[in-house]
Amino acid sequence: MATTEFSHQLRVYIEDTDAGGIVYYVNYLRFMERARTEFMRSLGYGKDYIFSSDLMFVVRDVAVTYILSARLDDELDITASVVQVRGASLIFRQSVRRRGELLAQGEVTVACVDRSSVKPRRLPTEIATQLRAME
């Protein structure tokens, strides 16, 4: 089965940039976080579901390659696709593009944890099943 790729658009604001109008490197991680959040929301797993299930998703590992700079007022397309679903974690492949031009790409491993103890816990079956279908 082909990987399902989710896309989220956003514009670069001054708060995202340095004094030269170039996006500060750590903000690419923020953009990727927004895309993952919107992806999960689009599947029905928004904050209401997450909070009522007493779980959280936390970033465990990130690898990002920066290729070109985004600049103030650029319109960006941030993608997220599921690479692998494990018992208590997910691996996402993500990219940041401007008009189709690749600016940054990376993989993010997200762990599912119990909200109260912040210890790893298995993904709820419905989430795991739905995401495995997208690998």
* Amino acid at residue number 34: R
Per-position b or e across 44-79, b if 16+ CB within 10 A of its CB? ebeeebbeebebbbeeeeeebeeeebbebebebbbb
CB-hemisphere CA count at 13 Å for 105? 6
DSSP run (H or E) holding 41: helix 26-42
Q: Which of 18, 48, 61, 114 is catalytic?
A: 18
77 assigned to active site: no
DSSP state of 26: H
Among the listed residues 7, 117, 115, the one whose alpha carbon sits nearest the alpha carbon of residue 57: 115
Looking at residue 100, its amino acid is G
Active site residues: 18
